[in-house]
Amino acid sequence: MAILLTIHVQNQLHETVRTFVEPPGEPFLKFCRAATTLGVRYVDFIWPYADAMLNFFQLAAWMEDFPRVLDSDVLSPEESASSRRVLEAAKEAHAIDGYLFIEG
């Protein structure tokens, strides 16, 4: 059975600003497995059935690392689209000095 991740953009008080659910098929989890081998930081602890939270510094690393991998040809269209949505949420959280909470 596939896991659906719920992504929460949170402010500094950990109040949820926006929430979305990843599409079926685990595209972001698949991206995380591929990205780990390509040197993307802070994706190795994103796992199904486990929660993860990224802070301001980790989000900054994602904003630096994701574009390099997203522009490569190693991702499926679904993985790329999913990762772009998560990157936009990371940028949103970073802009408000908040957090990205990934609920597995």
* 95: confidence class by pLDDT, cuts 50, 70, 90: very high
Instruction: State which amino acid sits at residue 1.
Output: M
pLDDT of 4 above 90: no
Mean of the pLDDT values across residues 86-99? 98
The secondary structure element, H or E, covering residue 83 is: helix 77-95
Instruction: Provide the 3-class DSSP secondary structure of residue 17.
Output: strand
* 2: confidence class by pLDDT, cuts 50, 70, 90: low
Mean of the pLDDT values across residues 53-80? 93
Residue 90 vs residue 4, higher pLDDT: 90
| Cβ within 8 Å of residue 64, ≥6 positions away | none
Alpha-carbon span 85 to 94, nearest angstrom: 14
Give this prediction's pTM.
Answer: 0.92
